[in-house]
Amino acid sequence: MKQFSQLFSTLETSNKTNDKISALVHYFSTATEEDKLWLIALFTGKRPKRPVKTNFLKLWAMEISGIPEWLFLESYASVGDLGETIALLLPPSENSIDQSLSVWMKEIIALHDKTDEEKKEFVTNAWKNLDTQERLIFNKLIGGSFRIGVSHKLLVNALSKYSGIDENALMHAIIGKWKVEETQFSELINGENINTDASKLYPFCLAYPLENELEKLGEAKDWQIEYKWDGIRGQIIKRNEEIFIWSRGEELVTEQFPELVENIKKISGNFVLDGEILAIKEGQVLNFNDLQKRLNRKNVSKKMMEEIPVGLYVYDLLELDFEDLRNEKLEVRRQKLENLIQNAKNFKSQISNLRLSEIIDFNNWEELHEIREKSREINSEGLMLKSKNSIYHAGRKKGDWWKWKVAPLTIDAVLIYAQKGSGRRSAYYTDYTFAIKDGEKLVTIAKAYSGLTDKEIMEINKFIRNNSLEKFGPVRTVKPELVFEIAFEGIGYSNRHKSGVAVRFPRILRWRKDKTADEIDTIETVKSLIM
């Protein structure tokens, strides 16, 4: 654990990419094979299920430290993280346990079959023999909340430097479905298991926001333009008559979209498609809030499928008949995709809600401005610009794919609740809840965490401390005086929110010091933004 603890500390405290890569390379160079495998598993979201309820951890920590619940809650509110709070409140360790990460993980997994008393004995013994940093990691592992600021791309970069294996090949090897107990580190990074798993997905190709004027991209004829949709990015795999649907977050979501599976079955052959899963009814793309009602359901009723039918807009072909097409030019992949879809038996009559992503016809760059501005009318977020010569990269690569969103929607709202952040922001109120007017009362409309400068955060913190009305655990009710312009990408009706409205990707655009709370937007104004 000490070795992993040192790595964790470096990754948490450094904001330099090269330092993080160096720390990871050092770990891969010195750790055991099992520990290296567990690191990859944890950093790619393959942590085991939580074996101990977090409420038990809180109770045991209070018992050992001898502090009352109110003080524990105050400490928790100040720190912002349960695992860190416990690690800081516990008395100094009595001894030291020098066990590897893999041994700890095996013991944590084994707790699932233990009694509550046995779990307590294991946890409290660990606390007595780990230092503060090690306790923090242990608490995160056992509490099921292990997260760290290392992207898959950064992890793969470090693995590539360590092993000398191509980054694309590594990305392909480590994502997808594999189990620690059934895998060897060397087998994993060398991709020895890739072809044995029909569900294995490819790394998604991603786009950067457009940075320059369109004219700087070169000749318009060299670019493929499509609408950008606000759905669930999906990779649809059909191999040997088995069908798998992966989200961009590398979650297997096949069972959530049974009608989509039925549609894919009607296309013969073996292939891997890239597209956007959308709620589509009567030929129209619905709001993301409608699609959201279909997500994370174990069972999808016939009624739900009728009310919110799901479809797929297909825009790329990554594999055909087990041939990897990612290094082919986009225009070549597109032609093969069109042939696959259009040649499907009785495609138009039997395969509903599955269609090719439309390629937008345009003569020059100037025409695209108007097309983009009108895209929100069809529930599109804007445009995608793809070089016809581009290969299908793993991750982002500047120059080949660009996303050009429409300007965000904005409203003026007042701050009514504040909560301290976590990690480096745990000492400051940085998590805000905003409200708009509904007649004579205020109703919450959005939560936002980003968009302010450090100087502004300091000013707002001072105001919150001096103008708090009530306290609910870590949350402060604030005098409704500070007005902010809130930007968001989409809006729709929602039964889950008091306002009856849900916004998509809210963030703070600016602090409106020139406005008072009397000038914020009303619920009627906000609802008028819904298409």
- Residue 315: CB partners within 8 Å, gap ≥ 6? 226, 274, 275, 276, 337, 356, 357, 384
| Dihedral sign from CA coordinates of 340, 342, 345, 347 | positive
Instruction: List Cβ neighbours of 180 (8 Å cut-off, separation of 6 or more).
Output: 37, 38, 41, 46, 105
Q: Which residue in 316, 284, 254, 471 sits closest to 380, CA to CA?
A: 284
Q: Summarize the confidence of residues 269-290 as an average pLDDT.
A: 89
Q: For the chain, what is the radius of gyration of the CA atoms?
A: 26
Confidence band of 520 (pLDDT split at 50, 70, 90):
very high
Same fold, 2-143 and 409-527: no
Q: Which CATH superfamily is domain 2-143 in?
A: DNA ligase, ATP-dependent, N-terminal domain (1.10.3260.10)
Is the domain spanning 205-405 CATH 3.30.470.30? The answer is yes
Q: Among candidates 408, 433, 423, 392, which has minimal Cα distance to 504?
A: 408
**Looking at the annotation, which residues are catalytic?**
228
Q: Give tens-digit pLDDT for 121-135.
A: 999 999 998 988 898
- Higher-pLDDT residue of 58 and 529 is 58
Q: At what angle do helices 17-30 and 33-43 cross, to 10 degrees?
A: 140
Backbone torsions φ then ψ of 77, nearest 5 degrees: -65, -35
Average pLDDT over residues 506-527: 91
Tell me what pLDDT residue 194 has.
Answer: 57
Write down the domain spans for the chain: 2-143, 205-405, 409-527
What is the dotted CATH code of the domain comprising 409-527? 2.40.50.140
Helix (H) or strand (E) holding 271: strand 271-281
- DSSP letter (8 states) at residue 50: P
Report how far residue 237's alpha carbon sits from residue 330's, in angstroms, rounded to the nearest whole number.
19
Q: How far is CA 95 from CA 34, 51, 92, 380, in A?
A: 25, 25, 9, 59
pLDDT in tens, 419-470: 887 666 667 888 899 999 998 899 988 888 888 888 899 999 999 999 989 8
